[in-house]
Structure 1
Amino acid sequence: MFGNNENKRALSNSNLSDKARRMLDSALKVDETSASHAYDVVFNLQQKYFDVVFNVPTSFALDSKLNDEIQKILIGGFYPLLLVYANSAPEFVETHSQDFSTARALRYHFRIGQFHRLQFDSLSQPKMQGSKIHLMDGFDFDLYESSGMVALSGQSGNGKTALLCYLLASILNSKPDAIVKIIDPKLDYSLFNFAQKRHLDYVSPAGNMNDYMNDVQSVLAGAIDEIHRRQRKVLETGKLPEKPYIIALDEAMAIAASITETKVIKQYQSLITQVTLMGRSARVFLFTSAQTFDANSVMNSSSRDQMAFKVVLSSNPSANDCRYLFKDFDPSTVVVNRDGFEKGLGLASTQPANRVVPFMAPYIKNLGA
């Protein structure tokens, strides 16, 4: 994976521990160092984690601020040799030391090397492996082993629709009997073309917005009816359905913005909530995208927590970009990898780990194919 001898030599527990100690000694804003035995760093390459072990008492607090400082130093310091995952909160572990002074540590997880972007000539190529959708080299989304729900956010032009098409193509190329219904308020050509070529149900405005909202609500209500039908079937047979049923809702906020009646907005949000909370058991999934999400018009916190694959597309993600899908997450702790193609960059997480990682959406050379 690494091209030079120096990087190969660096991949040993002792060498990595030494590098981490040097980085922390130089940059950590505390009065003590590893040389004064205030802390030590212990790597475990086999299990892909390292512990920062503290020698208590210390002159500094073992808290969230310290956790954030450590990971900011080491995430950037180990790039690109290691991808150190950012902890949203301190992960304290026992060291099983017989000495109380060194009985606890802060743990951080990593992978060797960085994730890399997948590339395809056309949307006819990507396929699932079992129930897994490949997202990056070494990073997958398991449709059946998670809730299966998807939320994509990012400003227009960052690649949300292309990523949505990729996800749907991966499923349809592997499970051609999958049921996919697309709701598209902005009449995106690539999404329309995708639906037409695959003979998918495609709901878009055709004049009267009240009629369109009725169509949208009808699709969502139909998904809830399908959930109930499948759940009854599961009770009768004891088997989960193999055929996924997917509602692809593009630019969900654009739909909400067109609704003027509070009652209708609540009905719209209620339908989305029901699909996201009940769909997993029946393999009925909601894939939704929006430039931004909020709790009042599209996705409440209960629905957000059900999202198995969450993405914020931005080449320079800010705290404001992350404020809803990745609540309380500091994007400055993540190094977004670059490969010369600026679209499809950002942050992502998948269940069950829910670790926020740098994301590079698959590149499709010809989206119309």
Structure 2
Amino acid sequence: MINNDRLKRDIERYSSLLRSSFNAKLSNGDSSYNNAIGFKLQADKLILWLNEPSETILNADFKATIEQIITTVLFPAWTVLHSTSGLNLIARKNEPIESARALVFPLHYGLYKRIVVNSHEDTNLVENNQGLVGIQLMEGKNYFPSRTPHVGIMASTRSGKSTFIAYFLKNCKSYSELAVKRGAYDDHANPLIIIDPKLDANLSKFAKRENAEYIYPNFSANTNSFIETTNSTLKEVIDLMHSRADYLKNNPNVKFKDVFLAIDEALAITSGMSSKSKSAYMAQLDQLLLMSAALQIHVLVSSQSFMINQAISSFGRLQLGLRILLTKKVTKENAQYLFSDLDDKTINSLVLDQDNYGSLGIGIATEGAEVYPFKAPYINF
């Protein structure tokens, strides 16, 4: 909950600081002090406008300059949510034509904080004002599977990925069970299907504990055996999708039990495939990513890289709604696959603030046009 008295004080204090900072940092002489620039700081956004005629051009470079200034000046009272959608212009109604348009910079009041999980049995489901159930990612940030069905996670070794995925899937299972309790049609599909080519110890234990369908390689057997099993598993999920579509024809209002297919270390899966098996794998994954969401089937893909036609196709990558990059430092190289719209200026403006839980599980995330700093839950057991 926001403390309104504190928010009011912060708006007053930081508005004064912003005014001074704009005066000092804008190089062409335009400033709020001489009334060339006006702005209004609110809990969830900064609205900034030019009083025309002005020496300043309201373009992407100006937006990037303002974003760089406010990212540090407003810290730690606000977190800037970096927009990748170009100029976010709004009309200022009932204002003179000289200042009738403004840039909007989305903000989060305060810093995003990790949640702490103290038990294997802990889940963090939330419900918003519209009755949508979601999964808490951080304090003040939730993921709603019904809105954003598919997920992509990119992370390097020892980044905290496996621990986060286990937390995430535990909550996905609880989300599915709650949906059934609230009337979703239960066709007895396993809510969790995990494909793990590296037999990760954490995921293996998690899958056993949660009775998930767990697909992993037998390292003493032929490599093709795991590849065939992986493709067969995708085919089974596609068959489930088709059977649900048939049921939906006669029951148009039905909502099904949610099923989550998690593919870990996707790059390791495709690296050992023949061209024929890889083509079948990519085609089936694309089909699921495109068609399964309306039938409450969700896909999570994690990998150390999302190079086109390696871990996933370019088409499949476009279907990933929630995208998370776990890294201690965001660069153009590691952001280019899931965050291709980030330019160098925006990357240099990103603040990955540290907390008392170390550097594991930190990075950035997006569910659309806004990129925000991410801190995975701290698992305290």
TM-score norm. by structure 1 comes to 0.91
- 1:274 to partner: Cα distance: 0.8
Question: After superposition, where does 1:228-239 map in structure 2 within 5 Å?
Answer: 228-239=242-253
Distance 2:202 2:30 in 1: 57
- Does structure 2 conserve the Cα–Cα contact (< 8 Å) formed by 1:124 and 1:173? no
Q: 1:17 aligns with which of 15, 18, 23?
A: 15
Query: Structure 2: 5+ residue runs without aligned partners?
Result: 128-132, 178-187
Structure 1, residues 97-117: CA drift from partner, whole Å, max 9, x if none? 542221211111212111100
151-160 vs 299-308, greater mean Cα deviation: 299-308
Question: Within 2, Cα distance between the matches of 1:30 and 1:321?
Answer: 34
- Measured in 1, the distance between the counterparts of 2:139 and 2:56 equals 40
Quote the Cα distance in structure 2 between the aligned partners of 1:319 and 1:30.
Answer: 29
Q: 2:362 aligns with which of 345, 350, 356?
A: 345
Matched, 1:61 2:75: no
CA distance in 2, matches of 1:234, 1:127: 30
CA contact (8 A) 1:313 1:345 kept: yes
Deviation, structure 1 residue 129? 2.8
Choose from 75, 91, 95 the match for 2:71: 75
Deviations 1:221-251 (A, max 9, x none): 1111111111121221123434111111000
Query: Partner letter of residue 288 of structure 2?
Result: V
Q: Which of residues 111, 114, 137 in structure 2 aligns to 1:114?
A: 111
SS of alignment partner, residue 129 of structure 1: strand
8 Å Cα contact 1:272-1:298 kept in structure 2: no
Residue aligning to 1:360:
375
CA drift of 1:361 comes to 0.3
Contact 2:14 2:74 in 1 (8 A): no
Offset at residue 331 of structure 1 (A): 2.5
Letter in 2 for 1:64: A
Contact 1:127-1:171 at 8 Å conserved across structures: no
Q: Which residue matches 1:278?
A: 291
**2:323 matched residue in structure 1:** 310
Give the match for residue 225 of structure 1: 239
Quick one: structure 1 residues 127 and 8, their matched pair in 2 at CA, closer, same or farther if it must change by over 3 Å?
A: closer
Residue 94, structure 1, aligned to residue 95, structure 2:
no
Match of 2:147 in 1: 145
Going from structure 1 to structure 2, the CA distance change for 1:8 and 1:129 (only over 3 Å counts) comes to closer
CA positional deviation for 1:44: 3.4
- Once the two structures are aligned, what percentage of the paired residues are identical? 24
**Matching residue within 135, 138, 151 for 1:136:** 138
- Quote the residue 2:184 is aligned against: none
| 1:22 to partner: Cα distance | 1.6
What CA distance in whole angstroms lies between the structure 1 residues aligned with 2:265 and 2:121? 24
Deviations 1:108-153 (A, max 9, x none): 121211110011122310142353011001100001132x111100
Deviations 1:53-76 (A, max 9, x none): 101222232111110110111011
Structure 1 stretches lacking a partner, 5+ long: none
Q: Do the aligned residues in 2 keep the contact of 1:266 with 1:297 (CA within 8 Å)?
A: no
Q: In structure 1, how many angstroms separate the alpha carbons of the residues matched to 2:317 and 2:53? A: 41
Q: Which amino acid aligns with 1:39?
A: I
- Give the letter for the 2:99 counterpart: T
Could you say which residue in structure 1 is the equivalent of 2:335? Answer: 322
Asked if structure 2 preserves the Cα contact closer than 8 Å seen for 1:185 and 1:251, the reply is yes
CA contact (8 A) 1:39 1:55 kept: yes
